[in-house]
Amino acid sequence: MIYLYRSFIVDILNQLENHQCQCATRVYRSQLMSTDELNYLKNSVGQYVSVNSFLSTSIQKDIANFYLGDTNHRWVGLEKVLFEIDADPKVVTTKPFADISHFSDFNDELEVLFMLGSIFCLNSIIHDDENQIWIIEMCLCSDNEHNLKQILMDMKNEIGNGETNLCILGKVVRRMGHLDLAKKYYYRCLDELSQNDPLLLTVYKDLAKIASQQKDYEEHLRLRQILAKIKDKIELNDNEIETSEIDKLTDNGAIQKRKSKSCMRCNWQLKLLICSFIVILMIGAGIFALQYMTTKKSPQSPKEWKPKFNKWKQDAITVAGGNEQGQKLNQFNYPEGIFVGEKKNIFIADCYNHRIVEWKYNAKEGQTIAGGNGKGNRIYQLNYPTNVIFDQQNHSIIIADYGNKRVIQWMNQNQQVLIDNIDCWGLAMNKNGFLYVSDTKRNEVRRWKMGEYDNEGIVVAGGNGKGDALNQLSYPTFIFVDEEQSVYVSDKWNHRVVKWRKDAKEGIVVAGGNGEGGNLNQLSEPARVIIDYLGQIYVADFGNDRVMRWCEGKGEGEIVVGGNGEGNQSNQLNHPMGISFDDEGNLYVADRWNHRIEKFEIIL
């Protein structure tokens, strides 16, 4: 049957190659799976899996969940499964994937199609107890990577120099003369390396050699310049690497423009319809663990998908509030800190309404989940809350109750004061189980072990009185903690963002610090600060009505959104305070003086 329709399959392959996705993305697919099949996959974690049919997925998680139907219904012998697939076009060798929504009558489903025979690495299988669904995380792999898997393991054991599989694989195929393939693996290796990994020198050096072999001397010169900068920056004592050059090198760009002729759309639909019959006739259709692929992955946690943020549409969508200042459930009164949950629910510190509001996705109004009982200091009241974060460990929210000088935890309408007698403004948690709190009066940031609050905490930033020296802060507000436990502080009256490395005695100015102003090297009363995985620093520039992005070590930043003057138009902000990203990279801004939450959609 496959032989009979081989021309259609080849044609679809060609079209997938022509419209191949050009940037890394995460896609989703849901289905009902037999318990036996699920158990088989559970025993295959760390192995490779293959798809023996065309695999249809969606960029939107909500769309995938929709096809599961009634979430409360239970099927005998069947389990609800959601596949979360990370796909990077750099790994594609023979089996491409493409966004085909432009050719579909259901283009709002944002369909991404994978070629028959695509190979994935099965990273993990976990159960979401809240939604009663199994989450299967996979990432796209290349044929070459699997075929060389055992060779790589043997070489890695022989070499024993700490190089990653991808780096060794790059060396292997480069020596074999497959230069383009080697480049793919080296660029993937860059994505996996930390910003201070000495192995970066090896990768860039080999990339420069490839450029020279291909007689691309401009690229060779550019890589050599980057290599020289990295040599100056990187040392074995955890010196920082300039991330902007890495960003340029690994920039995926935009998805290629696609043809939109109606005849092409019809061809897609016809061929996919035919191939759907093929799939039905194929024995064991679906995903299965390849029996002969038994080599386990190295014991490490799956790499978290992190979107490569580029640019955002400059006209925002108001997703919460925007109905003038007020205390109704569809209104805000000076919103401050926000964060966006996994389901795109927005949690807002509605400061002057003395409450925390949860605004669900596409809702017309919010619901009060903490406070809302008037201004006061009783256990069930709040007093000018400035920030709210989510504690995933016990499914509670932690609030900076600024006016009451306390940090309070709310869990199922039960309240507990965690820390008192503190002029708290900003909050942050890290994966190591620590809670960080900024104190605007003491001009410091302190850290507590979660659950151990019967002490004064440890000062991790400031604590040397009010001032503008590098070991001082002046009214620290919002904070962010990265994976290396460095603390980023919005130093309000010094109009700067300061980075304090773990156990440091003083900070490093990473944004602003040139006095208050509206130039690109200045900030005005910076508010919420967020650091992405490339080390880029996003700041709500409160006094300049804009959100800025800075790269550490650069003299000036760039405007991400806003910067069009104070106002309430869709491209304007009025004293932005909180910022947050959802899992797709869309930017949310607490537009404080406009009493609304704005969503700026990412441009892929």
Are residues 438 and 505 both part of a single domain? yes
Rounded to the nearest angstrom, the gap between the alpha carbon of residue 523 and the centroid of all alpha carbons in its chain is 25
pLDDT band at 258 (very low <50, low <70, confident <90, very high): very low
Going by C-beta distance under 8 Å and a sequence separation of 6 or more, which residues neighbour residue 596?
Answer: 318, 320, 321, 322, 332, 335
pLDDT, residue 73, reads: 66
Question: What's the pLDDT tens digit per position in 323-337?
Answer: 999 999 999 999 999
Helix, strand, coil percentages (3-state) for the chain, rounded to 5, are: 25, 35, 40
Q: Which of 83-97, 369-383, 481-495 has the lowest mean pLDDT?
A: 83-97
Place of tokens 């509030």: 321
The residue ranking higher by pLDDT, 188 or 468, is 468
Q: 251 near 308, Cβ under 8 Å?
A: yes
pLDDT, residue 304, reads: 35
Are residues 511 and 411 both part of a single domain? yes
**How far is residue 166's CA from residue 377's CA, in Å, rounded to a whole number?**
57
Q: 562 near 576, Cβ under 8 Å?
A: yes
Q: Is the pLDDT of residue 407 over 90?
A: yes
End-to-end distance of the chain based on CA atoms, in angstroms? 38
Average pLDDT over residues 500-515: 95
pLDDT, residue 297, reads: 35
Highest average pLDDT, of 138-142, 150-154, 424-428, comes from: 424-428
Residue 550 belongs to a domain: no
Average pLDDT over residues 346-370: 96
For the whole model, what pTM was predicted? 0.53
Residue 211 belongs to a domain: yes
Domain count, the chain: 3
Are residues 35 and 56 both part of a single domain? yes
**How far is residue 8's CA from residue 267's CA, in Å, rounded to a whole number?**
10
Residue 88 belongs to a domain: yes
Q: Is the pLDDT of residue 250 over 90?
A: no
The residue ranking higher by pLDDT, 433 or 148, is 433
Cβ count within 10 A of residue 567: 13
pLDDT, residue 515, reads: 95
The last residue of a domain, from among 543, 561, 579: 543
Question: What's the pLDDT tens digit per position in 352-361?
Answer: 999 999 999 9
Amino acid at 593: W
Average pLDDT over residues 539-548: 97
Q: For 234-285, where are the alpha helices, taking DSSP H only? A: 243-249, 262-281
Are residues 226 and 148 both part of a single domain? no
Are residues 385 and 478 both part of a single domain? yes
Q: Which of 587, 595, 114 is nearest to 331 (CA)?
A: 595
pLDDT, residue 234, reads: 58
pLDDT, residue 64, reads: 85
**How far is residue 576's CA from residue 597's CA, in Å, rounded to a whole number?**
9
**How far is residue 233's CA from residue 299's CA, in Å, rounded to a whole number?**
30
pLDDT, residue 537, reads: 95
**How far is residue 238's CA from residue 230's CA, in Å, rounded to a whole number?**
13
**How far is residue 151's CA from residue 146's CA, in Å, rounded to a whole number?**
10
pLDDT band at 577 (very low <50, low <70, confident <90, very high): very high
pLDDT, residue 50, reads: 77
pLDDT, residue 279, reads: 45
Are residues 428 and 457 both part of a single domain? yes
**How far is residue 90's CA from residue 186's CA, in Å, rounded to a whole number?**
10
Q: Which of 119-123, 255-259, 281-285, 541-545 has the lowest mean pLDDT?
A: 255-259
**How far is residue 359's CA from residue 371's CA, in Å, rounded to a whole number?**
15
- Judged on CB neighbours under 10 Å (0-12, 13-18, 19+), 323 is middle
Q: 524 near 518, Cβ under 8 Å?
A: yes
Residue 298 belongs to a domain: no
Are residues 396 and 436 both part of a single domain? yes
The last residue of a domain, from among 543, 568, 595: 543
Q: Both tokens of residue 36?
A: 């036996």
- Identify any residues that bridge with 85 across adjacent strands, giving them in sequence order: 27, 138
Average pLDDT over residues 267-281: 47
Average pLDDT over residues 465-491: 96
Question: What's the pLDDT tens digit per position in 68-102?
Answer: 776 666 777 788 899 999 888 776 666 788 888 87
Dmax over CA atoms of the chain, in Å, equals: 79
**How far is residue 251's CA from residue 560's CA, in Å, rounded to a whole number?**
17
Question: What's the pLDDT tens digit per position in 175-224?
Answer: 667 777 778 778 877 776 766 777 888 888 888 888 877 767 677 777 87
- Judged on CB neighbours under 10 Å (0-12, 13-18, 19+), 545 is buried
Highest average pLDDT, of 243-247, 342-346, 422-426, comes from: 422-426
Residue 300 belongs to a domain: no
Q: 547 near 528, Cβ under 8 Å?
A: no
Are residues 393 and 481 both part of a single domain? yes
Q: Is the pLDDT of residue 339 over 90?
A: yes
pLDDT band at 540 (very low <50, low <70, confident <90, very high): very high
Are residues 177 and 117 both part of a single domain? no
The last residue of a domain, from among 518, 543, 568: 543
Residue 292 belongs to a domain: no
Q: Is the pLDDT of residue 12 over 80?
A: yes
Q: Which DSSP symbol is given to 494?
A: G
Kindly state the helix (H) or strand (E) to which residue 63 belongs, with its residue range: helix 61-66
**How far is residue 170's CA from residue 203's CA, in Å, rounded to a whole number?**
9
Q: Is the pLDDT of residue 261 over 60?
A: no
pLDDT band at 278 (very low <50, low <70, confident <90, very high): very low
Q: Is the pLDDT of residue 236 over 90?
A: no
pLDDT band at 272 (very low <50, low <70, confident <90, very high): low
The residue ranking higher by pLDDT, 466 or 343, is 466
Q: CA torsion 436→441→442→448, rounded to 10°?
A: -20
Share of the chain above pLDDT 70, in %: 78
Q: Is the pLDDT of residue 435 over 60?
A: yes
Average pLDDT over residues 402-406: 97
Q: Which of 35-49, 300-314, 522-536, 580-594 has the lowest mean pLDDT?
A: 300-314
**How far is residue 569's CA from residue 498's CA, in Å, rounded to a whole number?**
32
Characterise 162 by phi-psi region: left (phi > 0), alpha (psi -120 to 50), beta (else): left
Place of tokens 């369909």: 111
pLDDT band at 491 (very low <50, low <70, confident <90, very high): very high
Q: Is the pLDDT of residue 469 over 70?
A: yes
The residue ranking higher by pLDDT, 156 or 338, is 338
Residue 17 belongs to a domain: yes
Average pLDDT over residues 487-506: 96
Are residues 129 and 170 both part of a single domain? no
Are residues 496 and 533 both part of a single domain? yes
pLDDT band at 419 (very low <50, low <70, confident <90, very high): very high
Structural domain span for residue 188: 165-234
Average pLDDT over residues 293-305: 32
Rounded to the nearest angstrom, the gap between the alpha carbon of residue 177 and the centroid of all alpha carbons in its chain is 36
Highest average pLDDT, of 8-12, 244-248, 573-577, comes from: 573-577
Q: Is the pLDDT of residue 519 over 90?
A: yes
The DSSP-derived string for 340-396 is E-TTS-EEEEEGGGTEEEEE-TT-SS-EEEEE-S-B--STT-BSSEEEEEEETTTTE
Backbone CA torsion sign across 399, 548, 363, 133: negative
Are residues 339 and 380 both part of a single domain? yes
Q: Output the domain CATH number for residue 201.
A: 1.25.40
Highest average pLDDT, of 112-126, 208-222, 291-305, 441-455, comes from: 441-455
Going by C-beta distance under 8 Å and a sequence separation of 6 or more, which residues neighbour residue 270?
Answer: none
How distant, in Å, are the alpha carbons of 20, 341, 390 from that of 411?
46, 16, 10
Q: Is the pLDDT of residue 246 over 50?
A: no
Q: 380 near 415, Cβ under 8 Å?
A: yes
Residue 272 belongs to a domain: no
